[in-house]
Structure 1
Amino acid sequence: MRSVLAALLLVVATSSQASPFDQLSQVEMSLKQEQEAKKAEALRKADEAAALQRARDDERQRKRVASQRQAQAVALEAKKAKEAEIQRAQARNERFEDEARSLDLESRKLELEARKAQVARSDEYIDAELRAKAARTDVVQSEADATRNISSGTKALLESTGEADVNRSNKLFGD
């Protein structure tokens, strides 16, 4: 609006020197220049607004990217922590299983040693029983020998007594 008034004042001031067509031409030219200036100003303002909008968009984009990177870093840390915890739990389970296997193996070894001891002891029991049977057999054999010896002694005594009686009777009866 001010520029229109300025253009009209300019036309009026120059109107005293120029013809109406020249004045009209000058007014049109002034208006055209003013419109071009307005367009240029509007374009400049639009460019500034677009540049400002681009800068805001770029800043938002940078913030969004930074936020995403931070979220990814936090997620990665959480994932690493979770994996570390899983590994610790797995290691704990493996140690427990190893210990259980070790205890089971030790238990089996002790069981085997107990069985070996029992077998060794049973051999000793068998040997003791065999010795006891052998001793009983020896006693029986000794008793049989003693009985046989007594019988042989008694037989020899009886035979000697019988021969002595025969000899005495021969001496008595004179043969």
Structure 2
Amino acid sequence: MFELQPDDISLVSRGQLLAVIQAQAEILIKGLNEQQVMDKMALLAEELTHAAGAVVELIDGDDMVYQAATGVARQQLGMHIRAINSLSGLCVRENKVLNCEDVSQDPRVNKEACDKIGIQSMLVCPLRFDGELLGVLKVFSPHKYSFDDIDEQILDLAARIIAVSMHAAQLGEN
């Protein structure tokens, strides 16, 4: 299921960890549905990484679809991006966190989508549960070189909570 290892929280501050734990408790206590979980955790990821926006993208065939969006990405809710030519798709294929420090110099990104949102850097983390890849959690910045190792750990923790909570919500709906 969802286990934290000591290395998972080595750089995360107590305040950040507390915010993640409080969000997880709220999800459990209130019994949030899948969309509410994605919305809440996207907002938390944005806040904790000091990003300008965040997105939960789910896999839909050959596309990645913006299912929850905050900040600068909010206007793009529902946007489809071809997985084959996007950093999100690469994140899913490689099943690891990817940091794009400068979208203008990174051949892995969908530059058209970045221009629509107005971003210069992003951090993308896979959403996975029990070996299944569901999509990604992504944060954006209008500045280059905005995200570091601490942001990667925070995003990974948030992504784990999203994936587990989405699975639990799906079980509750059946």
Q: TM-score interval w.r.t. the shorter chain?
A: under 0.3
As a proportion of its length, which structure holds more helix?
1
Could you say which structure has the larger radius of gyration?
1
As a proportion of its length, which structure holds more strand?
2
Taking structure 1 as the reference length, the TM-score comes to: 0.21
